[in-house]
Each structure stands twice: as structure tokens, then as C-alpha cells.
Amino acid sequence: MKSGINAIIFDMNGVLQLGGNAKKAIRGHHTIGVHKNIAEKLKISVDQWFDAIDSTYARSIEGLISEEEMIKAMSENLKVSRRKFKRIVVSAHKKHFKKNKQLFKQAFALKKQGYKIAILSDQWPLSKKALMPKKYTKRFDEVVISCDVKMRKPNPKIYRLILKKLKLPAKNCIFIDNQKWNLVPAKKMGMKTILFENNKQVAKEIVGHLANFPKII
């Protein structure tokens, strides 16, 4: 059997969802912006915001604490109601991030051509609620979210999980992420990797990989 590409796996934040001006589609500069927005709404400094969420934030991304427990701990630290905390965080994510319509369109075009498409994303429950509604993800063949599976990138286990769900070996997949360190485990496993910089660059690299590694029929 010839080696070929059968699936394209996309990151969400910074790839399928872009911070700031989505039209510019510039890699990075997306995470700090939303935290700054939340801090401004709470009328505290960004440092105070990070102090308040501390290790709870990291634990929630890995699903090591429930959404209810996470909201309770953070809202108490910030001395705001749970309802207000949740509203502010979800609203800030929706305001700061914009759906990368061009890349979604390209992903669905690839699916029509017979390729599997998937999402592999690190999220905490409130960012998942804001950025990954069912209407955005239902057309993807597989979706793996860190807070749901209790592991996050760059843990090799989460990459193996998406491959297991796709029922494909690493060599038959392309993985796209906006952070170099998240590409390292994928590349070591044998995936083709693309560091997201902008939509035009990603489209060019995808086409290059598919030309060099035709889909297995």
C-alpha cells in the first residue's frame, strides 16, 4: 500500500478561530488578548486575573477539575458571582475570537474530496462553550478536546487518541497548529506538520503535501 495522506487535523485557537482581526490571520497574539479583555471587564489588572485563576486554569484545561468546581474556585477568588464570572469569560472569548471562515471552507472542501477532517484542541470548559459550539464542529469526522479527555498537547497520548479515532497511522495525517511545540510530538510520530502563519501559507502547504502524498483509495 502506498504512503498517502487521508486526514487533516486542525487546531482551534489560533487556527480555526483567530484572535483579533481574523482577516489578517496572523499566527499568535490571540491568548493574552482574551485574558486582557476579561481583566478589563472585571476591573482588575491582568496580573490579578492570572493570580486569581492560577493552577485552576491549567487543571481545567486538562479536565482535572469539573466545570462547576472551576467556576466556584475562580469566582470566589475574584469575589464575583458564578453567573457573572461565567458570562464575562464566555462573552470575552466570543468577542475576541473570530471564526476563520476561509479555513473552515477549505476544510469542508477537503472533506468533499474524500479526506477526513478532525479537530485537536486544548480548551477549558468556558472557552469550549464559547468557541466550539456544535454547529462549528459537527461536520468534522473527529473532535478531541483536552478538557473532555483529561490530557492536553503536547502530551503524546492526545495525538495517539486522535489517530485512534481516525483509525489511521500517523504517516497518513497532516496536523496544523499555531505553536511549534505542539507540532513536535506529531512530527516525531510521523505526521506531516504545518505551523499556521496565515491562511494563504497553510493552503499552499496543504496542497504541497497532498500533491506529494496522494490520498489512499
- Can you give 142-205 as a three-state secondary structure string? EEEEHHHHCCCCCCHHHHHHHHHHHCCCHHHEEEEECCHHHHHHHHHHCCEEEECCCHHHHHHH
Q: Could you tell me if residue 217 is inside a domain?
A: no
Query: Are 117 and 183 in the same domain?
Result: yes
pLDDT digits (tens, 9 = 90+) for 26-64: 444 456 789 999 999 999 999 999 999 989 999 999 999
The mean pLDDT of 115-127, rounded to a whole number, is 97
pLDDT of the residue at 216: 60
Domain residues for the domain of 79 are 31-97
Domain-located, residue 2: no
Q: Is 107 a residue whose pLDDT tops 70?
A: yes
Confidence of residue 1 (pLDDT cuts 50, 70, 90): very low
Q: Check: CB of residue 175 under 8 Å from CB of residue 194.
A: yes
Same domain for 109 and 208: yes
> Residue 23: pLDDT above 60?
no
Mean pLDDT value across residues 57-84: 96
Work out the average pLDDT over 109-120. Answer: 96
Residues 143 and 196 placed together within one structural domain of the fold = yes
- The total number of structural domains that make up the chain: 2
Q: What is the pLDDT of residue 61?
A: 97
Does 43 share its domain with 91?
Answer: yes
Per cent of the chain over pLDDT 70 is: 91
Of the three residues 49, 76, 97, the one that is the final residue of a domain is: 97
Task: Indicate the SS3 state at residue 5.
Answer: coil
Q: What is the pLDDT of residue 217?
A: 47
Contact between 146 and 153 (Cβ < 8 Å): yes
pLDDT average, residue stretch 151-157: 98
The model's pTM is 0.91
Domain annotation covers residue 52: yes
